[in-house]
Amino acid sequence: GAGVSQSPSNKVTEKGKDVELRCDPISGHTALYWYRQSLGQGLEFLIYFQGNSAPDKSGLPSDRFSAERTGGSVSTLTIQRTQQEDSAVYLCASSLDLEGQYFGPGTRLTVL
């Protein structure tokens, strides 16, 4: 079966523009996570979706960041009015129960 996919793989944008990053989780996985990884750093938790429950948005760094998950499957992370400090790799992961999270290849975002 297919793993977690993310698109685009790379995104270059100008400061102030909005961007949308997409994540397709593994089919049947009920949990979906977004993380941010700055150059050479660890993973910073952003947001977590579990089934139909309200998402845990406690990791979102500002109100410019939002995410949604439609139909319990595909998720979109939106960053409005991008800033240079938003430049990072954005990783999506999905999981079923506690077997471990499976990660996508990430989207490298560069804000000029």
Residues that bind another protein (CB under 8 A): 31, 33, 37, 41-43, 45, 48, 50, 56, 89, 91, 93, 98-106, 108
Say what the alpha-carbon torsion angle 102, 79, 62, 35 is, to the nearest 10 degrees: 10
Question: At closest approach, how far in Å is the CB of 69 from another protein?
Answer: 15
User: Which CB sits closer to another protein, 80 or 101?
Assistant: 101
Secondary structure element (H or E) that encloses residue 93, with its range? strand 88-95
User: Which CB sits closer to another protein, 9 or 17?
Assistant: 9
